[in-house]
Structure 1
Amino acid sequence: MAILLPLLLFSVTISTVSPAPTKPDTFKPPDNYLIDCGSSSQTTLPDRRTFSSDSSSSQYLKYDGREINVHDQSAKVPLPIYKSAKVFNAKATYSFHVTKPGWHWVRLHFNPVKNNEFKLDETKFSVVACNTLVLLHEYTPKAIEMQEYLMNVTTPNVNIVFSGEKDSPAFVNAIEVVSAPDMLIPEHADALFPVGKKVDGMTRFSFQKMYRLNVGGGEIGPGNDTLGRHWDTDRKYQKVQSGAKSVSIAPNVVTYLEGGSPLIAPPTVYASAVQMGNSETSSPNFNVTWQFDLDHSYPYLVRLHFCDIVSKSLNELYFNVYVGGKIAVSALDLSTVTGGLSVAYYKDLFVEASLVSNPFLVQIGPLNEPIGTKNAILNGVEILRINNSVNSLDGVFGADGRSVTGPSRGTVAAVGFAMMFGAFAGLGAMAVKWQKRPQDWQKKNSFSSWLLPLHAGDSSFMASSKTSLGSKKSAFYSSTMGMGRYLSFAELQEATKNWDSNSIIGVGGFGNVYLGVLDDGTKVAVKRGNSQSEQGIHEFQTELQMLSKLRHRHLVSLIGYCDENAEMILVYEYMKHGSMRDHLYGKNLPAISWKQRLEMCIGAVRGLHYLHTGAASAIIHRDVKSTNILLDENFIAKMSDFGLSKDVGMGEAHVSTAVKGSFGYLDPEYFRKQQLTDKSDVYSFGVVLLEVLCARPAIDPALPREQVNLAEWAMQWKRKGLLEKIIDPHLVGHINPESMNKCAEAAEQCLSEYGVDRPTMGDVLWSLEYALQLQDQGNTEEGSNGPGSCLANGAPLAPAVDNRPVTTPAQASENPAEVQVIEEHSGTAMFAHHANLNSR
């Protein structure tokens, strides 16, 4: 929530399991504590594991309350450890000495045993391990449950603290604290997204088992697993059971790679699999899908187990693997990876759940190529939740009371990849908003309102003040800095009708944007900073600095500002026709002609070309997108929103900086190298050209996976020579094919993987002006009243297509209530160019 980089970046390098010096088949845990809580004697399970009693003299329990044991002789339970429970009416601590630091399983067993004193199915309690890790928060077991955790213990003891919430008792039926092998969790894992990124520091996390499935096989109990794990069957998680077919072989046939081990998963897991149910049909073209219910506010480690037990010879089976709606492994060839058949192999993926599909899907499907058999397999799935930024595996509060919604908010408490995933906080918000959007979202918000820009790593230029935006105003906002007219707070209050909520035309991290009317009748957009928010303050400063020194016909200009008391307000002239995106899709506005679209693009490119070449030092916009191309009353296009812009010093080819931009527009080379160049703007503008051609968003999560990313999807059709099949239907029959092809060629060049292969903005300008000439030639042949003709004021007519009427720009609504609510950096329907400051 997610940036989808060009198709080339979706290839995943398949590597074998990291080699180990030996191939251990068994593991003897140094620590092996099994406690039957509330029992008066030890208990032996059918798998021959023996649980000790925690009587009042137990060396493991420190408890200041009275001894409360409950026992239900009549209970029909799967294991005897669920017949009794220890109940705590005060804080209770179990402490287990650690013989050898490292990975340890902690398994907590719960069954609300019926008794005469407590209603255990109505209790609410929390559990904290090792003083800092929240295992359970306000938890109420309703039935027999086992919660399993894996933590890297570095303390002399594993302390597990039970505490009831609001006079509610806590209880537990059994506890396991057992050592786990070091090889179980690697130091590094592949990120599902962005593809190709390695996530470091995996051993610093704690994990909770959410799902562990023996795909295609039966249930595996702790007695038949090398590490005492339980594997469930996968049948109930299959979305369409008719599309899946189980297959199995004898477990003793399974072999492991050098360095591999049954400790990862026992042979029984690899000896069964699910393949495509009708894989023998002539043209199978479907995915086998497993669906899981996950809390998308956490990251996860997804481990997929594979073993080719269906092929009769090598290099027969090639298939794709999808996780969370994204390609996880493309064209997986197990025989090449493992060097043989029936060889165990697993793949670890770090998944930021907020960036992927909800519900969470794991899918396998055939390769759409004329090679191998049309089939796909999966042998096992493990999904482990990773602790959040406050070291909690359940809820938003840490053991110290911190909340993920507070100042320390983050997704993962990691140092190795903080930059990478910090850059994706915007997409997490995007995904949540998309899932929760109201039915009338198009009336209330433009698409841009949830397509947030990325902000990672910049410190606030007012960091010393959390509540006053104007506490250091004198350092940056002197009236001598060329920032236009000073407007008093009273003037702006009157202009916005005392900050009337009906005048709000934008909502963002800084605060609200209001449509106002000054005393001379000038309509303005008033951006008022929120004194309770520090979001985007650095960008706020940058925009002031940029707009104070930039003047061009195709760049927005600042009218004035206000910095009275603690206020921080910017004032722009109102842009009558909003953003270019609004006139392409999402707002049900009249369709605009191809010629008019080209003219808008040409205006935007002229503004960008000026930024790159016309200023004292090159300026990179860094957030080029269709919502930041605004239209004045004559539909003249101007670039807006310079909050992310960056100066490039004389003689410098690039500037090294944190990754910022908007999803779907971000230059992949900039993302990889963190080196910003003017070619990053060129790449983003290539996406804009495709928006203009196809009239759809750069990223649309509602579409099928292969269509989500516009740049990938459109370029696939372009390479097939079939781009006309996906262009805006309103252009069909009204666009000169040569003009369309010229624009598409310009877009393709802009989207080159490497910046050195992309054109300059000057080159793009030439290409678009040539495309405009080609369109004019075609329209001349059609006649002066064709869909590309112009009005007397220079604004082209829009064609009447699909019941969208032909209108002039002057007919567009001026009602503020119809202006979309926008994100601060989208630029939609906010700004206008101050006519007397325009210069070329």
Structure 2
Amino acid sequence: MAILLLLLFSVPIAVAVTTTKSDTFKPPDNYLIDCGSSAQTTLPDRRIFISDSTSSKHLQYEGREITISDQSADVPLPIYKSARVFNAEATYSFHVSKTGWHWVRLHFFPIKNDFKLQETKFTVIAGESLVLLHEYTPKGIEMREYLMNVTMENLSIRFSGEKDSPAFINAIEVVSVPDMLISENVDALFPVGKKVDGMTRFSFQKMYRINVGGAIIGPGNDTLGRNWDSDQKFLKPQSAAKSVSIAPNVVKYLEGGSPLIAPPTVYASAMEMGDSNTIASNFNITWQFDLDHSYPYLVRLHFCDIVSKSLNELYFNVYVGGKIAISALDLSTVTSGLSVAYYKDLFVEPAMVTNPFLVQVGPLNEPVGTKNAILNGLEILRINNSVNSLDGAFGADGKSATGPSRGTVAAVGFAMMFGAFAGLGAMAVKWQKRPQDWQKKNSFSSWLLPLHAGDTSFLGSSKTSLGSKKSAFYSSTMGLGRYLSFAELQEATKNWDANSVIGVGGFGNVYLGVLEDGTKVAVKRGNPQSEQGINEFQTELQMLSKLRHRHLVSLIGYCDENAEMILVYEYMEHGPMRDHLYGKGLPAISWKQRLEICIGAARGLHYLHTGAATAIIHRDVKSTNILLDESFVAKMADFGLSKDVGMGEAHVSTAVKGSFGYLDPEYFRKQQLTDKSDVYSFGVVLLEVLCARPAIDPALPREQVNLAEWAMQWKRKGLLDKIIDPNLVGHINPESMNKFAEAAEACLAEYGVDRPTMGDVLWNLEYALQLQDQVKTDEGSNGSGSALANGAPLAPTVDNRPITTPAQPSQNPAEVQVIEEHSGTAMFAHPANLNSR
């Protein structure tokens, strides 16, 4: 699943790994220039920098030649002992033999001299427009490292001083990098599930590269000539963690992985919790960094389980910028081994950047595994902003990334406010000038009547005949049933007594009413002020007028007096299913009852998808829309958001509507509604039934907020029984639970094409019920006379999949709409006893 928290879990499979290898990369382009030096310079790591004097082909400069040096300077590398100074614009050009990713490293040290380089300001631009530095003043020894995707055969780096300030440079590196270093798309930190594509169009600047738990790594010991700093100065507080390490030659890489991403030395060290595996280990290890929130960033996290003694011991959370980045990271599942290198990239938008910027790891608050968490390495790369700059708000053409000036913003804001007030004024005038028959035009009848075009029995009736008390009518195309006067409903609800309210929605209130004959009803009274409510009201009327099924709430009648919009339904004695799971303090219902309720709801949904003249998608499947009658028979309710799917259509393109926590992520992304959207929502309901908690609970720890993601993590670990409703512990057959959980997991597949139909789900739930019944049968008899064959539940024989019998086509579409109460069960002719109960 791509929508809610980031998951890294899959069914454990064998993952090929390779032992540490010397993956070396010979860069096609490897330009190392010692600027201002008269001869080549060899560094301690044996890299050789040539002089830009002896290789003047790289430099185009028409100003006065100025080179400075200080051979006695206390610097870590000899390339900082000399520099070239420019009093006019200068450009270094490099021929690119192979386009693609390149390091560009600029080395600066303001050698003391008459030019006062400690006070100068200059700008550096790469290629046509990438701003590397803007009005830059080096304060000490600095190396600026960039990663650029070079697409031209020539790369230029242009230096220009600001006003009378000179520019200078000590050394330049332009080195090819393997394409694998940057992926084309990565996960966003927020919103969860979002993919950021086209990463190759960006340029990057290294802000931090940390060897967590280990020592500094210099270019000579890195596979791509990188520097890795120690994490000690970023760790806050340092007492929260302790370092751990192994021999680098023990580190292995996943098949397709490479030490070019990070050398074994990085993965061979880590920080773990300083007080790991203790009862009170509820803290996080925290690293703090200073970042400019004007830019997006790529955060790369490196992991390698070098602390566990066996698989499936280590589960922990990863937080980036105060948000959960990886929930319940299980390196054993990801890598299928210990000491196996793994990394994760995250795209962080500017709005998600805080200062200080925190990266944290912490243990799960769960009764599983060791209470520990680790991090082996960390990289934070700045991404160019909207004007192609990595330094400052201005692009090479002078355009600002921050938009128009403050005066312009104020003027635009004033204009928008004026326009808004003018619009409100026009609306007020229009309201005052509305026609005298406005109430009539906006009454229940005004939008009800067009639905019955051609229905002569309805159109031929006068208001008097329709309004007569208890007059009834029936249409083959409508089925609205009994007409109830406003006075009768007012009496039934005790003058709309607030104590009679049993539900509230965008349409208005739902009241418990008692008719003269003693029949209890649910009275939905529409709110004329709610446009959304009117639309949903109309949709519900359209849907229920053509649907009849035991597991759908029935429409009893209606009222359209006095501009009222009122629908009357059968009363469901035990209310929403959710109330019997959590939150209301009602007695817990048994596992068998829960299964039967889910089966009933599944039958109702299956009928919607397959039993009507056209497929109907409910679009708001949730535990509060599954109502229970006096016998705990489940019925689907609230069809205000439902949609018809035309014959031959696979989906309906529509604005996204539904309830948070139940919403199909594919529907959210594509705005294409299918019957599989209901299947996804029903999968969340199944987990509610099993775990007895809300789909979304912000009061819980971050990793537990989203039920679907949290429960599926435990399911994939084979530990779902650890988080089920405590009332079910000891009363649920593990095989029944597993079959039920498999059905839920299938419903929650990321893509609709991978999800089962409601018919398939129904079959699996029936099977789970049989598995549960098997327990009682085995306990109460010796096997004779039971519904089980040889002690095993009835099951399909073809690939463990349901064998569906298609419904016979209707002689007339209208006949499908008027269906006897139990006729929908004919749709469920599966081998596993799917007849109506």
Q: TM-score, normalised by structure 1?
A: 0.54
Question: Does the Cα contact within 8 Å between 2:39 and 2:54 map onto a contact in 1?
Answer: no
Q: Structure 2 matches for 1:227-238, cutoff 5 A?
A: 227-238=224-235
Task: Give the deviation of 1:30 after TM superposition.
Answer: 1.7
Letter matched to residue 109 of structure 1 = H
Question: Does the Cα contact within 8 Å between 2:270 and 2:376 map onto a contact in 1?
Answer: yes
Which of 242, 265, 269 is residue 268 of structure 1 equivalent to? 265
Match of 2:367, SS state, is: coil
Task: Give the deviation of 1:199 after TM superposition.
Answer: 3.1
Task: Report the Cα distance in structure 2 between the residues aligned to 1:710 and 1:379, rounded to whole angstroms.
Answer: 30
Which of 319, 323, 329 is residue 326 of structure 1 equivalent to? 323
Question: Does the Cα contact within 8 Å between 2:214 and 2:269 map onto a contact in 1?
Answer: yes
Compared with structure 1, are the counterparts of its residues 351 and 125 closer, same or farther at alpha carbon in structure 2 (3 Å cutoff)? Answer: same
Matched, 1:614 2:538: yes
Question: Does the Cα contact within 8 Å between 2:34 and 2:49 map onto a contact in 1?
Answer: yes
Task: Give the deviation of 1:240 after TM superposition.
Answer: 2.1
Compared with structure 1, are the counterparts of its residues 662 and 335 closer, same or farther at alpha carbon in structure 2 (3 Å cutoff)? Answer: closer
Matched, 1:216 2:207: no
Matched, 1:603 2:508: yes
Question: Does the Cα contact within 8 Å between 2:61 and 2:91 map onto a contact in 1?
Answer: yes
Question: Does the Cα contact within 8 Å between 1:63 and 1:90 map onto a contact in 2?
Answer: yes
Which of 264, 269, 294 is residue 297 of structure 1 equivalent to? 294
Question: Does the Cα contact within 8 Å between 2:506 and 2:532 map onto a contact in 1?
Answer: no
Which of 154, 157, 160 is residue 157 of structure 2 equivalent to? 160
Compared with structure 1, are the counterparts of its residues 666 and 81 closer, same or farther at alpha carbon in structure 2 (3 Å cutoff)? Answer: farther
Task: Report the Cα distance in structure 2 between the residues aligned to 1:594 and 1:111, rounded to whole angstroms.
Answer: 79
Q: Structure 2 matches for 1:308-323, cutoff 5 A?
A: 308-323=305-320
Letter matched to residue 69 of structure 1 = T
Task: Give the deviation of 1:521 after TM superposition.
Answer: 14
The answer for the alignment partner of 2:79 in structure 1 is 81
Match of 1:236, SS state, is: coil
Match of 2:668, SS state, is: helix
Gaps of 5+ in 1: 410-465, 468-498, 525-546, 554-592, 620-635, 637-644, 687-697, 714-718, 723-751, 758-840
Matched, 1:121 2:118: yes
Compared with structure 1, are the counterparts of its residues 597 and 283 closer, same or farther at alpha carbon in structure 2 (3 Å cutoff)? Answer: same
Compared with structure 1, are the counterparts of its residues 241 and 354 closer, same or farther at alpha carbon in structure 2 (3 Å cutoff)? Answer: same
Larger Rg: 2
The answer for the alignment partner of 1:441 in structure 2 is none
Match of 2:118, SS state, is: helix
Q: Structure 2 matches for 1:94-133, cutoff 5 A?
A: 94-118=92-116, 120-133=117-130
The answer for the alignment partner of 2:687 in structure 1 is none
Task: Report the Cα distance in structure 2 between the residues aligned to 1:259 and 1:500, rounded to whole angstroms.
Answer: 53
Task: Report the Cα distance in structure 1 between the residues aligned to 2:441 and 2:285, rounded to whole angstroms.
Answer: 55
Question: Does the Cα contact within 8 Å between 2:71 and 2:81 map onto a contact in 1?
Answer: yes
Q: Structure 2 matches for 1:49-448, cutoff 5 A?
A: 49-55=47-53, 58-118=56-116, 120-355=117-352, 357-406=354-403
Task: Give CA deviations for 1:395-441 in whole Å, capped at 9, x if unaligned.
Answer: 3333344443459x9xxxxxxxxxxxxxxxxxxxxxxxxxxxxxxxx
The answer for the alignment partner of 1:793 in structure 2 is none
Question: Does the Cα contact within 8 Å between 1:324 and 1:360 map onto a contact in 2?
Answer: yes
Identity of aligned residues (%): 70
Task: Give the deviation of 1:216 after TM superposition.
Answer: 0.2
Instruction: Compare relative contact order (CA 8 Å, sep 6+) and give the higher one, 1 or 2.
Output: 1
Question: Does the Cα contact within 8 Å between 1:516 and 1:523 map onto a contact in 2?
Answer: no
Task: Give the deviation of 1:209 after TM superposition.
Answer: 0.8
Task: Report the Cα distance in structure 1 between the residues aligned to 2:195 and 2:423, rounded to whole angstroms.
Answer: 44
Compared with structure 1, are the counterparts of its residues 270 and 646 closer, same or farther at alpha carbon in structure 2 (3 Å cutoff)? Answer: same
Task: Give the deviation of 1:56 after TM superposition.
Answer: 8.0
Question: Does the Cα contact within 8 Å between 1:291 and 1:360 map onto a contact in 2?
Answer: yes
Compared with structure 1, are the counterparts of its residues 363 and 614 closer, same or farther at alpha carbon in structure 2 (3 Å cutoff)? Answer: same
Gaps of 5+ in 2: 445-497, 510-523, 544-564, 566-640, 685-695, 711-722, 727-746, 757-837
Compared with structure 1, are the counterparts of its residues 359 and 217 closer, same or farther at alpha carbon in structure 2 (3 Å cutoff)? Answer: same
Task: Give the deviation of 1:43 after TM superposition.
Answer: 1.7
Matched, 1:47 2:45: yes
Task: Report the Cα distance in structure 1 between the residues aligned to 2:29 and 2:430, rounded to whole angstroms.
Answer: 79
Compared with structure 1, are the counterparts of its residues 164 and 22 closer, same or farther at alpha carbon in structure 2 (3 Å cutoff)? Answer: same
Compared with structure 1, are the counterparts of its residues 662 and 85 closer, same or farther at alpha carbon in structure 2 (3 Å cutoff)? Answer: farther
Task: Report the Cα distance in structure 1 between the residues aligned to 2:413 and 2:283, rounded to whole angstroms.
Answer: 53
Letter matched to residue 269 of structure 2 = S
Match of 2:239, SS state, is: helix
Compared with structure 1, are the counterparts of its residues 27 and 610 closer, same or farther at alpha carbon in structure 2 (3 Å cutoff)? Answer: same
Letter matched to residue 75 of structure 2 = V
Match of 2:667, SS state, is: helix
Question: Does the Cα contact within 8 Å between 1:274 and 1:379 map onto a contact in 2?
Answer: yes
Task: Report the Cα distance in structure 2 between the residues aligned to 1:184 and 1:520, rounded to whole angstroms.
Answer: 62
Task: Give the deviation of 1:320 after TM superposition.
Answer: 1.8
Task: Give the deviation of 1:87 after TM superposition.
Answer: 1.6
Task: Give the deviation of 1:161 after TM superposition.
Answer: 0.7
Task: Give CA deviations for 1:220-259 in whole Å, capped at 9, x if unaligned.
Answer: 1111111110000111111222111111112222222222
Compared with structure 1, are the counterparts of its residues 314 and 41 closer, same or farther at alpha carbon in structure 2 (3 Å cutoff)? Answer: same
Matched, 1:29 2:43: no
Task: Give the deviation of 1:49 after TM superposition.
Answer: 1.5
Task: Give the deviation of 1:101 after TM superposition.
Answer: 1.7
Letter matched to residue 335 of structure 1 = S
The answer for the alignment partner of 2:548 in structure 1 is none
Question: Does the Cα contact within 8 Å between 1:92 and 1:162 map onto a contact in 2?
Answer: yes
Q: Structure 2 matches for 1:651-730, cutoff 5 A?
A: 655-656=652-653, 668-675=665-672, 705=702
Task: Report the Cα distance in structure 2 between the residues aligned to 1:92 and 1:349, rounded to whole angstroms.
Answer: 37
Compared with structure 1, are the counterparts of its residues 397 and 511 closer, same or farther at alpha carbon in structure 2 (3 Å cutoff)? Answer: farther
Task: Give CA deviations for 1:599-619 in whole Å, capped at 9, x if unaligned.
Answer: 685539944342245389999
The answer for the alignment partner of 2:600 in structure 1 is none
Letter matched to residue 291 of structure 2 = L
Compared with structure 1, are the counterparts of its residues 658 and 281 closer, same or farther at alpha carbon in structure 2 (3 Å cutoff)? Answer: same
Task: Give the deviation of 1:392 after TM superposition.
Answer: 2.2
Q: Structure 2 matches for 1:811-822, cutoff 5 A?
A: none
Task: Report the Cα distance in structure 2 between the residues aligned to 1:322 and 1:227, rounded to whole angstroms.
Answer: 28
Task: Give the deviation of 1:72 after TM superposition.
Answer: 3.1
Question: Does the Cα contact within 8 Å between 2:146 and 2:204 map onto a contact in 1?
Answer: yes
Task: Report the Cα distance in structure 2 between the residues aligned to 1:661 and 1:138, rounded to whole angstroms.
Answer: 51
Letter matched to residue 287 of structure 1 = N
Task: Report the Cα distance in structure 1 between the residues aligned to 2:283 and 2:98, rounded to whole angstroms.
Answer: 48
Question: Does the Cα contact within 8 Å between 1:319 and 1:376 map onto a contact in 2?
Answer: yes
Task: Give CA deviations for 1:66-125 in whole Å, capped at 9, x if unaligned.
Answer: 11222234432222212222121211100111122221110001112211133x222222
The answer for the alignment partner of 1:836 in structure 2 is none
Task: Report the Cα distance in structure 2 between the residues aligned to 1:100 and 1:21, rounded to whole angstroms.
Answer: 30
The answer for the alignment partner of 1:744 in structure 2 is none
Paired residues, number: 538
Task: Give the deviation of 1:666 after TM superposition.
Answer: 7.9
Q: TM-score, normalised by structure 2?
A: 0.54
Task: Give CA deviations for 1:128-156 in whole Å, capped at 9, x if unaligned.
Answer: 11213221222222221111011121211
Match of 1:295, SS state, is: coil
Question: Does the Cα contact within 8 Å between 2:291 and 2:353 map onto a contact in 1?
Answer: no
Letter matched to residue 257 of structure 1 = L
